[in-house]
Amino acid sequence: MSTPFAHPITVRLHDTDAAGRLFFAHLFRHAHDAFEAFMDALELPVDTMIRSGQLLLPITHAQADYHLPLRHGDRVLVQVSVADLRRRSFAIQYAFRTNQDALAATALTVHCQINVDGTAVAALAPELKTALQSFT
């Protein structure tokens, strides 16, 4: 496996719940921010894909596990890697690590490429597949 893509975040006050911990759903927001940064680094920016309609990659599955609480002000490194690469879909793994390199949370999203009309593609776009392979 190659070195994961790294995306730093800071837990903000608006990310926390009444107990002062990262609200569980905000983990996915940070995962998606990391995914967008990852795609930018691959020179496949999500905003361009959406506007052009060339590559539509809806999430078909998402899951997360929480190991340590994250609090307001915590600096976290989100490590992004490709967990699975299939003919028409791929899975992205996210590892949320604290400054002490402790694993605070993990998440996984599965993306399926579709055509503009919502039908399934025969296979992932070659440029997408090639870019993702470097992070498997």
Task: Count CB neighbours of 96 within 10 A.
Answer: 28
32 class by beta-carbon count within 10 Å (0-12 exposed, 13-18 middle, 19+ buried): middle
Q: What is the mean pLDDT of each run of 10 residues along the chain (136 residues)?
A: 88 96 97 98 93 90 98 97 97 97 98 93 95 91
Q: Which residues pair with 85 in a beta bridge?
A: 90
CA distance 59 to 47: 15
> What is the dotted CATH code of the domain comprising 5-133?
3.10.129.10
Query: Parallel, antiparallel, or unpaired: how do β-strands 75-85 and 59-66 relate?
Result: unpaired
CA distance 116 to 62: 22
- Model's pTM, two decimal places? 0.94
84 sits in which H/E element:
strand 75-85
CA distance 49 to 73: 33
Residue 55's pLDDT is what? 84
Per-residue DSSP letter, 100: T
Domain ranges across the chain: 5-133
